[in-house]
Amino acid sequence: MFLSVSLFSYYPEIKRLHKSDLHYSQLQYEIDEYYKRYQSGKQSIPLNFYEYTFRETDTIFSISSILNLTYDSIVSLNGIENPDSLEKGDIILIPNSPGVYINQEPESGFEEIVALRSTDGENIKINTSRGIVSYTYVSGSHLSREERSFFLKTLFRKPLEIVFRTSEYGYRMHPIGGYRHFHTGIDYRASVGTPVYCSRDGVISDIGVLGNYGKYIIIRHDGGYETIYSHLERFNVKVNDRVHSGQKIAESGNTGISTGPHLHFEIRKNGIPLNPGDFFPGEY
């Protein structure tokens, strides 16, 4: 949701992260005041936002360190996918109050992950380049281990040593039926017998054969996550086995309804399919 035009009419603009910038100094004062009140149990300061144009030498971590503001606050407010998402010239919003900002109409994969948390907070509306966006603000909160791992792209590893996508996550024309349907995972090119690796530590919850999927494995992970591997040729594990990230669990094949040898891979959280590509930047 990076802002493409200045919102200076709505938010003060910080031009430099230095005490010589009056808006920077005001933001620092407000953040310090927030912490003082939070620690003493007093009523929090009113929410306020500032805009800042990302520079070539900036990182999310350097900005949060300079401001003494958790990066959780900045990335959740702006829906930043990963530490490398921002480029020179992108305009971001910076809050004066740390916490987690949950977009009630998530657009990015990271926002979708954060929106899955069930928590109470303050309902607020923020003016962005997309218009007025509704958020739930959880004061003083931090990203969970899973949310942080998603942002840092350390939550899952790729299921193959060498990956080349042949079909993306999302709506597509069914390659055999010819009708439009939602593809709940990513297909990777893999010849029969290619080693398939566990994407994250977990427990084998199901192994079997199913029409569309052919031979498949489902692994249950912490945090309500599951990974699914299908069109397999051979299993190297059994139900209830505890497996580790990078462990060989199967060999790819051409079973089930398939146009040729490949691996179909899914990531789900609480039964809801997520885009595996969001976890693997720079995969091609």
Q: What is the CATH number of the domain that holds 247?
A: 2.70.70.10
Residues 204 and 139 grouped into a single domain: no
Q: Are residues 174 and 197 located together in one domain of the fold? A: yes
Mark which of 152, 180, 214 sits at the end of a domain: 152
In-domain check, residue 3: no
CB atoms within 10 A of CB 44: 15
Query: Could you tell me the CA-to-CA distances from 26 to 13, 18, 44, 127 in Å, in that order?
Result: 11, 11, 16, 20
How many domains are there within the chain?
2
pLDDT for residue 281: 56
**Of 69-73, 108-112, 159-163, which range is least confident?**
108-112
Residue 282 has pLDDT above 90, yes or no: no
Confidence tier at 6 by pLDDT (50, 70, 90): very low
Domain assignment of residue 70, yes or no: yes
Same domain, 141 and 194: no
Residue 217: count of CB within 10 angstroms of its CB: 26
| Amino acid 211: pLDDT | 86
Q: What is the dihedral of CA 59, 76, 24, 16, to 10 degrees?
A: 30
Q: Is there a single domain that holds both residue 171 and residue 119?
A: no
Domain that holds residue 262: 165-279
Q: Is the pLDDT of residue 125 over 80?
A: yes
Instruction: Judge whether 159 lies within some domain.
Output: no
pLDDT at residue number 277: 84
